[in-house]
Chain A
Amino acid sequence: MLFLIIKRILLGFITLFIVSLITFVGTEILPGDACTTYLERQAFGEQLEACYRRLGLNVPAYERYVSWAVNAIQGDFGYSLSGEMPIKEVLGPRIKNSLVLASAAIFIGIPIALILGIVTALWRDKLPDVAISTVTIFAMTIPEFISATLLILIIAIWLEWLPGVVIVPTDVSFLKLLPNIILPVIAIAMIMTAHMARMVRSSVIQVMASEYVQMAILKGVPYWKMVFKHVLPNALLPAINVVALTIAWLLGGVVVTEVVFNYPGLGRLVIESISNRDLPTVQALAIILASIYVSINLLADLMTLMLNPRLKTLQIRK
């Protein structure tokens, strides 16, 4: 058991290492370097020299990678070109804001997805299933920027219930932030919830068709007891990993949604730093977003390991 956990964690770090290499090499092989890209037409003379010195671009690439990596592990991602301050300081409040947004979407989305998935599976091919499944297909396919735009148009502009654009400073208190994040959360949660609901549905249907569920019915186990004791634990276990992948995929949606709502989070920082050609910040963002992805998947793996009796005893025996 312990061995497996350590192995998964190690694999996660290897993935992160490869990500850092990819982004580093990626920015390295693309035409121009961080300074020429950033300074564009002013990339000559004193200014360029100063920039090179500040970023340490005058040493060989591998040395730069090593020192960057060593610093990054300690949480120091270098200096933001556009923000004119350490990247660490730029990131702090942005990460907090994005986390609020994403975790709200996750905490609302997962329970709803579970309920919808289970309901559609249990009433398979009946009215609730057909109705919900049709809605989820729509929710799943429409891009976040469309649903976000429509939400603003209908709820903020026509009905005037909630603010459509977030106009608060980066480091605002949570309570003040709350009414501002309702619409973005809905926009983000929609697509993710729809995806998860569909996965839960098919997983439950699969288990419902299994021999052990048939056996439970033939044993005389009442319907709901069968659902909760025999079906759900076995159906939701494999769903954990898939849900984790969906959550990770949501990171992309967060970027777009933050732009639509003008929300001061990581996503908007991505757009800003790319528009400003601030390569050091982009590198830092890549690593941070990748670590979020890797840790969510790691968490899912560990949960599956913990909950699956098969894997548990496999380890004890060894």
Chain B
Amino acid sequence: MKVDNIYKEEKKSVFKKVSEVIITMASRPSGFIGLSILVFHIILAFISPYIAPYDFKAVNPTLMLQAPSAEYWFGTDDLGRDVFTRTILGGRTALTITFFGSLIALLWGGLLGIFCGLVGGKIDDIVMRIVDAFLSIPWILAMLLIVSLLGTSTEVLIPALGFFYGKGIVRVARAATHDVIAKDFIVSARARGHSNLSIIWNEIIPNVRDAIFVEGAMRWSWMLLGFSSLSFLGFGVSPPTPDWGLMISNARGLMSFAYWAVIAPIVGLSSLIIGINLTADAFAKALGIDRSTKAPV
């Protein structure tokens, strides 16, 4: 029996698969840039408390609105706090909350979507109606309502964000499931008499997993956008915790004479969002999924 060289590819471990995907992602310039930015921010989030030169909440009226100098690299803000310190610390809350938020979104959205796609019929109709209704309430209104009534603690924000950004995943997971269940291997499994649970686990999840992960990565960047908008509006983390959205909002009124206090957090937040976006894009391309046709809902 002849064995062609290109067919010689063995089953790989999960670790090897993941590292392969990362290598493919990094092989594109945009993917490489995105990954580097993301990794930089993650590392920064871990080490920033140890490298921050000043205390982020130390108010010093004598040092109000100082321009950038050798001592204060990014200058100081209206309360005399070091902008550099606050900027490198400013992404920690956002990164943590949105990361866990998107994990929750991924889980409930993915599972409900797969379930609806497989079951179909009346249950599917009803669930999709409700999801549609949730989609038609602007996220910002709903989030503001929840936050203003329940407070802005992490325990509220993570599940609330997770819930609101998960409803879009329901649709994606459902559509992907629909594509898969029309295939003959599902018909074959059903004809053999496998249970629904076994079909979901063995046949559907391996085939929709990629689409859901890509969607989750995308949600992450949108969730970050949403979360910082909340902070900016004053409904996110509460002062004096450093947060980019909040910093921009505070320094905005003074930017005609102290632009540095606004520029630093803007660069921080924009670079993180772009980094996540480029990474999600490269991730989608590495898995062979076109994400540019999706609407941002």
Contact = CB atoms under 8 A, between A and B. Distances in A.
Report A-B touching, CB under 8 Å: yes
Interface of A: 11, 14-16, 18-19, 22-23, 26-27, 30-32, 37, 137-138, 140-146, 149-150, 152-153, 157, 195, 198-199, 201-203, 241-242, 245-246, 248-249, 251-252, 255-256, 259-260, 270-271, 274-275, 277, 282, 285-286, 289-290, 293-294, 297
B137 A150 contact: no
B72 interface: no
Contact of A256 (B140, B150, B252, B277): B140
Size class of the B contact interface (CB-based, 8 Å): 35 or more
A265 to B, nearest CB: 13
Contact of A149 (B130, B140, B252): B252
B193 interface: no
Contact of B232 (A19, A32, A145, A152): A145
Nearest to B135: A293
B145 A246 contact: no
B121 interface: no
**Interface-central residue, A27, A241, A256, A275, by most chain B CB under 10 Å:** A256
A14 to B, nearest CB: 6
Which of A140, A142, A145, A286 is the most central at the interface, judged by chain B CB atoms within 10 Å of its CB?
A: A145
Interface in B237-269: 245, 248-249, 252, 255-256, 259, 262, 266, 269
Contacts of B274: 137-138, 141-142
B140 A270 contact: yes
Instruction: Classify the interface of chain B: helix, strand, loop or mixed.
Output: helix
B141 A246 contact: no
A146 to B, nearest CB: 5
B20 interface: no
Contacts of B140: 251-252, 255-256, 270
B144 interface: yes
A11 B126 CA distance: 12
B270 A256 contact: no
A141 B138 contact: no
B233 A256 contact: yes
22 contacts: A14-B129, A18-B130, A26-B145, A137-B281, A145-B228, A145-B245, A153-B259, A242-B293, A242-B295, A245-B295, A248-B136, A249-B295, A251-B138, A256-B229, A256-B232, A270-B144, A274-B235, A286-B141, A289-B138, A290-B136, A293-B136, A297-B136
Contacts of B281: 137
Given A19-B137, A153-B255, A203-B293, 4 more contacts: A16-B136, A32-B149, A145-B229, A149-B252
B296 interface: yes
B297 interface: yes
Interface string B139-176: 11110110011100000000000000000000000000
B138 A255 contact: yes
B129 A15 contact: yes
A102 B294 CA distance: 22
A289 to B, nearest CB: 5
Given A143-B225, A146-B248, A149-B248, A245 B296 contact: yes
A77 to B, nearest CB: 15
B277 A141 contact: yes
Contacts of A246: 295-296
Contact of B266 (A27, A32, A150, A255): A150
